[in-house]
């Protein structure tokens, strides 16, 4: 066949193959148009999973009568005019493909009214771009689009649709994500004439949190950190779940760039790195995060459905995200009193983005007004232990009668530290302590492992791991391959605080070890570290995975189960946890302590009922 021009409807249907994957894709494109129209109210009505009807109504600026036919033609838009506009897109849509693509695979009705117009105007389209004669209609200010019988003229596409329930599930998920992108807009969703969601405009932080709770659940807010970081023209705010509130799937991860929901490998990697020391294996973090930056540093034209973006300064953005999240997770520590959710607000220092002219308007989806500073933690551990020992650790045990005659002595509540004071070591595993709000149970090994790991990691990265010579050198029997590896990595072992020499084909001799790890099984530890190095590879790869190796060392250097701790030892550990970054989880992501409030204790024993 000779070269020829394709019919307009076929051209639009080809474009629809990229833009309209399923009914949810139609909802996404049309709701984004509502955003760009300046709407403050958006209503979505669905029938038969979207295959029967998708109706989107807004109170935005509307479309002029003469522009209605043009709006349904390809590559016609009011959102960009030049290449410069395309390089710093500040609107959700900009290609002018959505409406003609949708109309080419459905029966579409478009009704719109602009301000100061005597009436609204309606056009009906089927993708042919012909006979689009606007007719008057009694419609209020704004726009309504009805998409009926989706894929009616492309039966092969319609066969790929799932059940109505499944398709509406995709629409519902998308609707939640859109509702979280703009708190300044009211959203309503109906399915088969039944109201599913009705979100009012959320102006205050409390109202915004309530919208998040309706979508993610109240448990997420109770186990999350509200953060707000800014540096060099970039801002990151929103909510991140604590490591203990994680998921087996990546279904509760919402990330927005200038108000646009995206999925990006660079972003995912930065967040994963921030959680690497605190998240249990196989689990995924939960978050709702908003990144705002100069639009000229983001290419939103990298994906047909605009689901992916490209950052001009990818490494800078990655470092900013990692440092912001890493610091917010590290700063989660026990509080002296039961308080509201932690909120972090700070400025992160790192290499700024290149200077560029800032646009006047960038979408601001979430704007925290203020954040409380963190409370100071008690540091005088010895004095606290001494005071505690005098009060609750008498020299001899008392029977009940004797105890009843003793004067009641309590520490002032102001002196109670966040994790309280130790009462008992249960089963030689758990520390029981009393706080102002209730009781705390601490996994001694997990807690000490985190404390040791953070200290050792700090010493290692500062290049200052204190080492002490062993009174008697320790021989370690290994394979010849492991002995060769130890020879190659002597500098790495020295950086860890070990002096390691080879004494034979399969024998190593340890002459010094880190001060922080005194009393450990040195031979077993050296074998485990060699195994880690073999698993992660040689040279540079070892340094990249140094944290995992340091975690192995810290595990060996932590107190073991069945070792009974004294009261001073337990209290010292409690104070260390309070001062340690990421002290709420061990190196493997398990919690180090849990709290039972007095209210929860009363409920267990049905008190007050």
Q: Cα–Cα distance between 12 and 3 in angstroms, integer?
A: 19
For residue 22, give Cα distances in angstroms to 16, 168, 178, 311: 10, 10, 17, 28
Residue 111 has pLDDT above 50, yes or no: yes
**Whether 122 and 268 share a structural domain:** no
Range from 175-189, 307-321, 484-498 that averages highest in pLDDT: 175-189
Q: What was the pLDDT predicted at 74?
A: 72
**Whether 320 and 405 share a structural domain:** no
Question: Is 443 among the domain residues?
Answer: yes
Lowest mean pLDDT among 3-17, 258-272, 311-325: 3-17
Q: What was the pLDDT predicted at 298?
A: 83
Three-state DSSP at 144 gives strand
Residue 388 has pLDDT above 70, yes or no: no
**Whether 193 and 210 share a structural domain:** no
**Whether 294 and 432 share a structural domain:** no
Q: Domain boundary residue among 142, 170, 199?
A: 199
Residue 284 has pLDDT above 90, yes or no: no
- 253-257 and 260-261 strand pairing: antiparallel
Q: What is the CATH number of the domain that holds 41?
A: 3.30.565.10
Q: Domain boundary residue among 199, 230, 252?
A: 199
**Whether 258 and 170 share a structural domain:** no
E strands in 430-492 = 430-434, 438-443, 467-477
- What is the domain range of residue 161? 8-199
Indicate the average pLDDT of the chain.
Answer: 77
Which 3-state string (H, E, C) describes 190-219?
A: EECCEEEEEECCCCCHHHHHHHHHHHHCHH
**Whether 239 and 116 share a structural domain:** no
End-to-end CA distance of the chain: 85
Q: For 313-363, what is each residue's pLDDT tens digit? A: 888 899 999 989 988 887 776 665 444 444 455 554 444 455 444 444 444
Residue 584 has pLDDT above 90, yes or no: no
E strands in 296-408 = 298-299, 310-311, 343-347
**Whether 330 and 399 share a structural domain:** no
**Whether 452 and 323 share a structural domain:** no
**Whether 193 and 246 share a structural domain:** no
**Whether 139 and 284 share a structural domain:** no
Q: What is the CATH number of the domain that holds 256?
A: 3.30.230.10
Residue 86 has pLDDT above 70, yes or no: no
Q: Which of 178, 113, 108 is nearest to 145 (CA)?
A: 108
Residue 311 has pLDDT above 80, yes or no: yes
Q: Give me the number of domains the chain comprises.
A: 3
Residue 371 has pLDDT above 80, yes or no: no
Q: What was the pLDDT predicted at 249?
A: 81
Question: Is 370 among the domain residues?
Answer: no
Mean pLDDT value across residues 426-453? 86
**Whether 380 and 431 share a structural domain:** yes
For residue 141, report the phi and psi dihedrals to the nearest 5 degrees.
-55, 130
Q: What was the pLDDT predicted at 40?
A: 95
**Whether 194 and 215 share a structural domain:** no
Question: Is 357 among the domain residues?
Answer: no
Question: Is 257 among the domain residues?
Answer: yes
pTM, 2 dp = 0.65
Q: What was the pLDDT predicted at 541?
A: 41
Q: What is the CATH number of the domain that holds 419?
A: 3.30.1370.100
- Asked if residues 415 and 401 have their Cβ atoms less than 8 Å apart, the reply is no
Q: What was the pLDDT predicted at 444?
A: 86
Question: Is 353 among the domain residues?
Answer: no
Question: Is 420 among the domain residues?
Answer: yes
Helix, strand, coil percentages (3-state) for the chain, rounded to 5, are 35, 20, 40
Q: What was the pLDDT predicted at 363?
A: 44
Mean pLDDT value across residues 468-475? 86
How many angstroms separate the most distant Cα atoms in the chain?
108
Q: For 188-245, what is each residue's pLDDT tens digit? A: 999 999 999 999 999 998 999 999 999 988 888 888 889 999 987 899 999 998 887 8
Three-state DSSP at 140 gives coil
Q: What was the pLDDT predicted at 90?
A: 67
Question: Is 38 among the domain residues?
Answer: yes
Question: How much of the chain exceeds pLDDT 90, in percent?
Answer: 24
Question: Is 220 among the domain residues?
Answer: yes
Question: Which residue has tokens 């909510």?
Answer: 239
Q: For 190-205, what is each residue's pLDDT tens digit? A: 999 999 999 999 999 8
Q: How confident is the model at residue 411 (pLDDT cuts 50, 70, 90)?
A: very low
Q: Domain boundary residue among 158, 175, 199?
A: 199
Residue 88 has pLDDT above 50, yes or no: yes
Residue 398 has pLDDT above 70, yes or no: no
């Amino acid at each position: 066949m000779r070269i020829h021009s394709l019919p307009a409807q076929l051209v639009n249907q080809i474009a629809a193959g990229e833009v309209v994957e399923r009914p949810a894709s139609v909802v996404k494109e049309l709701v984004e148009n509502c955003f760009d129209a300046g709407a403050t109210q958006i209503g979505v009505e669905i029938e038969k999973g979207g295959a029967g009807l998708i109706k989107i109504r807004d109170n935005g600026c509307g479309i002029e009568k003469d522009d209605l036919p043009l709006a349904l033609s390809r590559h016609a838009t009011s959102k960009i005019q030049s290449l410069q506009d395309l390089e710093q897109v500040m609107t959700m849509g900009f290609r002018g493909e959505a409406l003609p693509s949708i109309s080419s695979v459905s029966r579409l009705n478009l009704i719109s009214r602009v301000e100061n117009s005597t009436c609204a105007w309606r056009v009906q389209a089927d993708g042919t771009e012909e006979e689009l004669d606007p007719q008057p209609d009694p419609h209020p200010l704004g726009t309504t689009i009805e998409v009926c019988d989706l894929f009616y003229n492309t039966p092969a596409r319609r066969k790929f649709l799932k059940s109505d329930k499944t398709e509406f599930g995709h629409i519902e998920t998308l609707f939640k994500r859109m509702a979280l992108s703009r708190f300044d807009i009211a959203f309503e969703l109906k399915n088969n004439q039944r109201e599913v969601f009705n979100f009012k405009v959320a102006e205050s932080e409390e109202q915004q949190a309530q919208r998040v709770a309706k979508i993610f659940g109240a448990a997420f807010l109770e186990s999350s950190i509200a953060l707000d970081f800014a540096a060099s023209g970039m801002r990151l705010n929103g909510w991140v779940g604590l490591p203990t509130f994680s998921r087996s799937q990546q279904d509760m991860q919402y990330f927005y760039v200038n108000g646009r929901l995206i999925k990006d490998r660079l972003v995912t990697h930065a967040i994963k790195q921030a959680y690497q020391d605190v998240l249990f294996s196989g689990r995924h973090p939960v978050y709702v995060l908003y990144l705002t930056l100069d639009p000229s540093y983001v290419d939103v034209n990298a994906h047909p459905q605009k689901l992916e973006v490209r950052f001009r300064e990818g490494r800078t953005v990655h470092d900013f995200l990692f440092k912001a999240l890493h610091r917010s997770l590290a700063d989660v520590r026990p509080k002296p009193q039961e308080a509201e959710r932690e909120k972090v607000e700070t400025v992160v220092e790192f290499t700024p983005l290149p200077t560029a002219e800032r646009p006047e308007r960038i979408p601001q989806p979430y704007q925290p007004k203020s954040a409380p500073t963190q409370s100071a933690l008690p540091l005088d551990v010895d004095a606290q232990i001494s005071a505690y020992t005098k009060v609750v650790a008498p020299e001899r045990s008392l029977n009940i009668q004797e105890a009843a005659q003793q004067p009641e002595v309590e520490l002032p509540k102001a002196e109670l530290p966040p994790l309280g004071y130790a009462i008992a070591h249960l089963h030689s595993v758990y520390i029981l302590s009393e706080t102002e709000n209730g009781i705390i149970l601490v996994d001694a090994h997990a807690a000490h492992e985190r404390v040791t790991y953070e200290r050792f990691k700090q010493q290692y990265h500062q290049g200052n791991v204190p080492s002490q010579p062993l009174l008697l050198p320790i021989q370690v029997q290994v394979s010849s391959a492991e002995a060769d590896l130890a020879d190659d990595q002597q500098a790495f072992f020295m950086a860890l605080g070990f002096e390691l020499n080879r004494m034979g084909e399969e024998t190593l001799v340890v002459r010094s070890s880190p001060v922080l790890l005194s009393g450990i099984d040195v031979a077993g530890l050296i074998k485990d570290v060699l195994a880690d190095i073999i698993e992660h590879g040689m040279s540079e790869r070892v340094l990249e995975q140094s944290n995992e190796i340091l975690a192995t060392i810290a595990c060996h250097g932590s107190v073991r189960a069945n070792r009974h701790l004294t009261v001073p030892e337990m209290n010292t550990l409690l104070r260390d946890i309070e001062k340690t970054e990421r002290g709420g989880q061990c190196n493997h992501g398990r919690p180090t302590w849990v709290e039972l409030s007095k209210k929860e204790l009363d409920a267990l024993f049905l008190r007050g009922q």
